[in-house]
Structure 1
């Protein structure tokens, strides 16, 4: 099945008497007998034990996401932030290091800068577009490379395949936050990702009604390298199980299986069945919405270029931004997404006044909604960063971030015209 069909029908048997995927609002599940219960807990067979670990509704979402990404398995989790954190601690522990792009969402940057060091994990930041920097920042302690497909909010696109080549040389997995592209605009596994992260809250959910995250396992990385201790040393919680060696037919999902059995089981960042159902609804229209988001955003970006109040505009699909467009157009064949950033004459204060003058756009801390959204990044989503960190993340003081919705383009541009005229 093609993408749009898989997003609607994937992982759900049409012969099922229930046509729509139901919400399974249950905490626990009946075991057939004591042997069945023991087998489930011992991993001798797979099934449902407790909704913190998995749920029949969640099974469909995870299988559908894995199909859309071309992965071997997936894990749905409580938020995109939880997906990032649990992916890192799944592969790194005390004394290990991660090489990361400096162009990150503010919450991820804070997690990497202030929280992971408390676990003894060091993050080394690099300019993601300087390919030599990835190799130079790597050493024997490096356990993964990390970047975003489109930096938030820099909106710059790294050269994925070039980073993959360096990762191969160092022999580390590539962990990628693909929230801004979704699996519709980009299949990042085809271009070198071993682990894919999504904030389901954004375009996949699509309507600002549920919080959740997901991790997709490409099933391509060889975890038997002894330096990956979490996959090679015996797990005392599962009778000495070594995830890189003892999973048999389940080895292609080693990454997400360990995350489910260790982090999700014991730390509990689970996703509610109701939110799972919300994301299944969102997936069904993802292809349609991403086409509209991309088309609207492209038109808004070109409109902003014509306005005298605007100093600069950044959108991956603008040919004027030659360095970014060259890389973006190499990978993004279906569209360039729904995000735009731009700067206004007058800087930070003018940006605030512009946002307060908008009527159709909602002033909220979110992106990927069917509704158009706006925010001033330096004073909100990235306010915890120092001036130097802001520059490294690609956040200018005058930057306004727009998440373009799927409203009629004439109404979107009319609202922007009025707000620009007011400043």
Structure 2
């Protein structure tokens, strides 16, 4: 019995059923964990056919595994929905691996990337340092919602545009349709890191993105117990329109019998190349056990993210009226300069990760941070538990002070990832932390 039905499924149904079959051997309803490095061949001919791609069975878990394949199919459905029915997902070992694989499926030495400036600091380091060592250049657009700023940054060697719909940690939303339109004009794929929004709140393919990546370690898995990443190709970009720009997809390949990836796979050429040549050869393989945990997390994604978002709005609204708080960066607040974009792209909730700034600078941030009890002090996000971090002294510590300030990371800024606990309990914990700030700064009590 297959769980993939003929009629289209709503999101909540798809997150439970899409892409899985009942195990034919024993009738297990949940996809088993296939903890095996390799797979036995029936005979000489089957082994040859599998390596030739004639038989679609499995050979080695670095190249494919039934547990990881099931979660790939589900993720493709959740991100693709009706806007990208040919979407294909590739799961890998972490979110950073997903970004590296996504870029290396397109870029080569001499190429250029244009990225929004407001992005996760680990991604900035990957673009500037790791890809830079390979001869790939990057420029960052500070006013990321200005289409002309993107156009000015594009060169003849530019091969990808990149951004985050909900940037980490500043929550300064990206206008996806604006950037996608520029990408289409230039014949360049638009890559989007959708980790903080998840496909429940936002499906970037519906707004013109070509490739979506996630750190699946975050909201998709949801419980802080497993690492994983995913690259999802919409299967819509025409890689043949500029063959000189993407030669690896348009030149004959011995492995394909003299055909190019475009000839063999059409608009799925990128997904095929990225899976077969980049992910398989570099080897950032997702463990089948982590794939299993990811699939379990996906089954409750909408329930969790809805609660995350409700709690985040309640916490952000409470923080913005506290006298010790200078500003709150959350697009769900009417006071946010990005509130209008939130209405367009995130009508079902604005996510749970945002930052706020205390007036007392680093001493206030230190007192606040150390006084937290319910919030976990750790570098992670998207967990069912609420988490807190001081970016200036942790994730952004390698930047100079001027660079941090240019990116809006002041000494009093704290990042929160709001979990699914009771909002009243979270606010009580934050109030206790603000008491510690008041004791430090001798500010009068509110009210």
2:181 to 147, 152, 165: 165
Equivalent in the alignment of 2:284: 269
1:296 alignment partner, one of 302, 307, 311: 311
- The SS at the match of 2:138 is strand
The alpha-carbon deviation at position 387 of structure 1 amounts to 3.1
8 Å Cα contact 1:149-1:181 kept in structure 2: yes
Does residue 1:134 correspond to 2:142, yes or no?
no
1:175 is aligned, of 184, 191, 202, to 191
In the alignment, structure 1 residue 389 sits paired with structure 2 residue 389: no
Match of 1:107 in 2: 122
Match in the other structure for 1:49: 59
Inter-partner Cα distance in structure 2 for 1:306 and 1:351? 17
TM-score by length of 2: 0.91
Q: Where does residue 92 of structure 1 map in the other structure?
A: 107
Verify: 1:143 aligned to 2:159, yes or no: yes
Of residues 314, 327, 334 in structure 2, which corresponds to 1:312?
327
Could you tell me the TM-score, scaled by structure 1's length? 0.96
- Residue aligned with 1:245, SS: helix
Match of 1:118 in 2: 133
Q: 1:21 aligns with which of 25, 31, 41?
A: 31
Does residue 229 (structure 1) correspond to residue 247 (structure 2)? The answer is: yes
Secondary structure at the residue paired with 2:261? coil
Distance change in 2, residues 1:267/1:289 (3 Å): same
Residues 368-407 of structure 1 aligned to structure 2 (within 5 Å)? 368-407=382-421
How large is the Cα RMSD of the aligned pairs? 1.4
* Displacement of 1:327: 1.1
**Matched residue of 2:262: which SS?**
coil
**1:351 alignment counterpart:** 365
CA–CA distance in 2 between the matches of 1:242 and 1:11? Answer: 29
* Structure 2 unaligned spans of 5+: 1-8, 438-447
Q: Offset at 1:246?
A: 2.1
Misfit runs of 4+, over 6 Å = none
Name the CA distance, whole Å, in 1 between partners of 2:268 and 2:238.
Answer: 11
Structure 2 CA distance, aligned partners of 1:392 and 1:242? 44
Which residue number in structure 2 is paired with residue 340 of structure 1?
A: 354
How many residues align? The count is 419
Contact 2:79–2:232 under 8 Å retained in 1:
yes
Provide the rounded CA distance (Å) in 1 between the counterparts of 2:292 and 2:415. Answer: 29
Matches of 1:258 and 1:267 in 2, distance apart? 13
How far did 1:158 drift?
Answer: 1.0
* Counterpart secondary structure, 1:401: strand
- The separation in 2 between residues aligned to 1:374 and 1:69, in whole angstroms, is 28
Correspondence list, 1:65-80, <5 A: 65-70=75-80, 71=84, 72-80=87-95
Q: CA 1:111–1:308 in structure 2 vs 1: closer, same or farther (change >3 Å)?
A: same
Cα distance in 1, alignment partners of residues 47 and 402 from structure 2: 55
**Residue 16 of structure 2: aligned partner:** 8
The one of 42, 54, 62 aligned to 1:32: 42
1:409 aligns with 2:423: yes
Q: Does 1:63 align with 2:73?
A: yes
Task: Tell whether 2:213 aligns with 1:205.
Answer: no
